[in-house]
Structure 1
Amino acid sequence: MFTIKDKVALVTGAGSGIGLHYVKEMFRNGLRAATIADIDPSKGDQALKEIAQEFGSNKAIFVKTDVTVQKEVEAAFKKTIEAFKNLDIVINNAGILNDDIWEKQIAININGTVYGCLLAWDYLQKYRSGNEGVIVNIASITGLTSFMSIPVYAATKHAIVGLSKSMGVKEHYDRTKIRVLTICPGVTDTPLISDFVTSYCLPAFEATYKVDLPRWPKQKPEVVAKGLIQALTTGTNGSFWVVNNSKIQNIPHLPEVLELPK
């Protein structure tokens, strides 16, 4: 069983929302230090104040990070090692929901996650403090089913599912001792959802907005954060964790649509 106690984490998009809840919940479970990599300095500063108030000073650093720029993502990794010497957990959480700017959405949701995974693959082998490193990719229930009003967003989350599934195989773990886990939150009460309006849809699909979103019950971000802790401490390599309707479901291995040729 993996223990979070005394570990160091780097979390993208952690200045607010679910990302910040992830960081706080890990501190409640003994995390030693964290890097908040976020594009918004004001949110980053506020997050540091909240962490210091609840958990003490010098527990976290903020690194301004645009996850679409590989050099900025790498700078967050480098500054983590400079500050804390170790890195054990990388959570690729940064993302946006806005099909109307789908090129930017793809760059953040997919490219940013790929950059985080590839850098973590290197850093977690060199700088982890224990026997294992952990990569957690944040996908969505939209990566496991259809979501008719935001098909491009759903496609980005399907991409994360495919990335995690292919990186989280036994052959990779045996070589690297890096577990790859995936969290798939359902509709969660954060600004990503509360700010969602029809203008976030492409015109061809906005007519389905009023039908689509109400089908899914909202949940609190604290529930998703607790799902992360369960995944970190007990999740097997390659497992998927669906946190939907305030329930946590472990899927050890997503079924294959096609079987490998024998």
Structure 2
Amino acid sequence: MAFDLKKKVAVITGGASGIGLCYAKALLTNGVQAVTLADVNPEYGNKAIREIDNEFGINRAIFVQCDVRNIEDLERVFYKTVEKFKFVDILINNAGILNDAIWENQIAINVNGTVNGILVAMDKFFPKYKQSGEGVIVNIASITGIDFHPHVPIYSGTKSAVVGFTKSWGVREIYDQKKTRFVAVAPGVTLTPLILDIHGRNLGPVYEQYLREKLDNGMYPTQEPEHVANELVKVVKHAENGSVWVVEGGEPAFEYIPVDPRLQRKKNVLKIK
């Protein structure tokens, strides 16, 4: 049975602009009662609220300034959400940066920030404030998290971690106790500022050269953020716990199923002479 979005309340980190704002609008279009946009940038946040007010009517969204590296900030986001809307049912862990040149900060946001969101939602707020039998956490990964991308190896590692979180938390034993469904969306190259301004946000010339060659060869099919947002809505409604969904090149989402390493045990034995 599909998860019913009607009257649900969602928190979206990194939700004030770009693809995060597209997620918010797609959810509202498909029946969600309200969204909280959690973001570090108040200028973008206030602008986003004005957009939503104009498109969907007032009292459908709030902005809360938040640095996801700080778990207390995320707790405040959820407190403000239930204070305004009484409930919280969905978390979209979207906040992230792509910049290997400042890799410590990138790891703190992409990895620690995702864990912070998961723990606050699953352990502190969903048990009291979700409206139906389950809460839903969507972790935004990336195509780089399931395939190698040498131009941004550290970013790729952070998104691999997001996939690992989703698969590891998204098992029946934890679901039975926590009643929280975990899914991940792994977008391909999406035309947002994160991607359009990618040059120079790596570890140096060799990485930049690799990127330029792949872009020039058309190796990375592109898509619009609105397409990813519409596919995310389908994932929220229908995807099974622990599943990971790739959205690439403007095509429908498809499930990524990792190969069981045990099946390769006899095929790929290290042979030393």
Alpha-carbon distance between aligned partners in 1 of 2:76 and 2:44, rounded to the nearest angstrom: 19
Structure 1 residues 118-154: Cα deviation after superposition (integer angstroms, max 9, x where no partner)? 1111211221011111000000000000001000000
CA contact (8 A) 2:246 2:256 kept: no
TM-superposition CA deviations, 1:225-253 (whole Å, max 9, x none)? 01111101111111111100111233275
Cα deviation 1:82-111 (Å, max 9, x = unaligned):
111100000000000000000000000000
Residue 186 (structure 1) aligns with: 188
Q: Distance in 2 between matches of 1:97 and 1:12?
A: 15
The one-letter code of the counterpart of 2:38 is A
Q: Which amino acid aligns with 2:176?
A: D
Most deviating of 174-183 and 135-144: 174-183
Distance in 1 separating the partners of 2:132 and 2:254: 24
Q: Equivalent residue for 1:44?
A: 45
Aligned-CA RMSD value: 1.3
CA contact (8 A) 1:238 1:253 kept: no
> Which of 119, 128, 131 is the aligned partner of 1:129?
131
Kindly indicate whether residue 60 of structure 2 is the aligned counterpart of residue 59 of structure 1: yes
Q: Tell me the distance in 1 between the aligned counterparts of 2:245 and 2:21.
A: 19
Q: For the Cα contact (< 8 Å) 1:169–1:238, is it kept in 2? A: yes
Q: Is the 1:11–1:19 contact (alpha carbons within 8 Å) kept by the matching residues of 2?
A: yes
CA distance in 2, matches of 1:236, 1:73: 26
2:269 — aligned with what?
none
- Distance between the aligned counterparts of 1:132 and 1:42, measured in 2? 34
- Work out which of the two has the higher radius of gyration on C-alpha atoms and give 1 or 2: 2
Extract unaligned runs of 5+ from structure 1. none
Q: Secondary structure at the match of 2:252?
A: strand
Q: How much does 1:207 deviate?
A: 2.4
Match of 2:173? 171
TM value normalised by structure 2: 0.92
Gaps of 5+ in 2: 264-273
1:234 matched to 2:245: no
Residues 1-262 of structure 1 aligned to structure 2 (within 5 Å)? 1-122=2-123, 123-197=125-199, 199-203=200-204, 204-213=206-215, 214-251=218-255, 253-258=257-262
**Equivalences, count:** 258
Partner Cα distance (1:50, 1:257) in 2: 47
TM-score relative to the length of structure 1: 0.95
Separation (CA, whole Å) in 2 of partners of 1:97 and 1:212: 17
Identity of aligned residues (%): 48
